[in-house]
Amino acid sequence: MKIFLDTANIASIRHYSEMGMVDGITTNPTLLSKEGGDPEEIIRKIVKMVQGPVSLEVISTEVTQIMEEAYILKQYGSNVVIKVPMIPDGLKAVKKLREEGIDTNVTLVFSATQALLAAKAGASYVSPFIGRLDDIGNDGMSLIRDINQIFKNYQYNTKILVASVRHPIHVIESAKVGADVVTLPPDILGKMFLHPLTDKGLKTFISDWENLKKTNPSIKIL
């Protein structure tokens, strides 16, 4: 399963890229607005830093304007994926962009029917927002299971990009289902590193080594 970072924060992208954890990036207008500063400059930096796909979202809701925006966004780099909302004009744009060989990510997907339509239009990725479904008392993960089954039944090439991830259990469940990608806010990825027994064990190893050094002052290593 690939891990994308769901952020426009350059420091986080750099931090996790140094560990080889960043297979791609998803952004949206909200994430870019959180960073402040010049969004174009931020986008330029992200696209340069990351080798994998970088989803950049259009704002327009009418097909001709979506296409115009898509061409502008695509100029930032060959790894740019055009993120398009799950609306009828969005899917018209997805179909046109597919015909032109441009990758798309259909966002704001909340049902299996929406995912099916996005796949039929030729989306490269669908982004079901599982956390927002959980927030309103639905089961986000069951949507991932349904989409996975549907895509398998009909051999759609569209990848399932699990979005709106709220905690590490969402990540494990996505991997168990066989989702292609999870896109994670940096703090969720950070939580995946943590285990109290790791910290406890490391503390003991370090203090035991310090004690050993005291009784063997001639030890050369460390």
Segment near ligand E4P (CB under 6 A), from 84-92, 126-134, 149-157, 203-211?
A: 126-134
Q: Which of 83, 92, 95, 213 is flagged as catalytic?
A: 83
Closest CA to 129 of 116, 117, 115: 115
Range 160-176 burial, b when 16+ CB lie within 10 A, else e: bbbbbbeebebbebbee
> Could you say whether residue 132 binds ligand E4P (CB under 6 A)?
yes
Map residue 138 onto helix, strand or coil: coil
Which x/- pattern, by CB under 6 A, does the window 101-120 give for ligand E4P? Answer: ------x-------------
Written as six digits, the tokens of 64 are: 């001709």
Could you tell me which residues come within 8 angstroms of residue 24 by beta carbon, excluding any fewer than 6 positions away? 2, 4, 5, 50, 52, 53, 54, 55, 81, 181, 183
Binding of ligand E4P by 183 (CB under 6 A) = yes
Query: At its nearest, how many Å lie between ligand E4P and the CB of residue 75?
Result: 21
Q: Which is nearer to ligand E4P, 34 or 44 (CB)?
A: 34
Annotation marks residue 120 as catalytic = no
Residue selected from 3, 6, 109, 116 as contacting ligand E4P according to rule CB under 6 A? 6
Longest dimension (CA), the chain: 76
- Cβ of residue 127: shortest distance to ligand E4P, in angstroms? 5
Interface residue with ligand E4P among 104, 114, 148, 164 (CB under 6 A) is: 164
State the Cα–Cα distance between residues 15 and 65, nearest whole angstrom.
36
Calpha distance 196→207 (Å, rounded): 17
Select from 45-53, 61-69, 123-131, 201-209 the region that touches ligand E4P (CB under 6 A).
123-131
Shortest Cβ distance from residue 105 to ligand E4P (Å)? 7
Catalytic residues: 83
Residues of the shown chain interacting with ligand E4P in the complex, contacts defined by CB under 6 A: 6, 26, 28, 107, 127, 129, 131-132, 163-164, 183
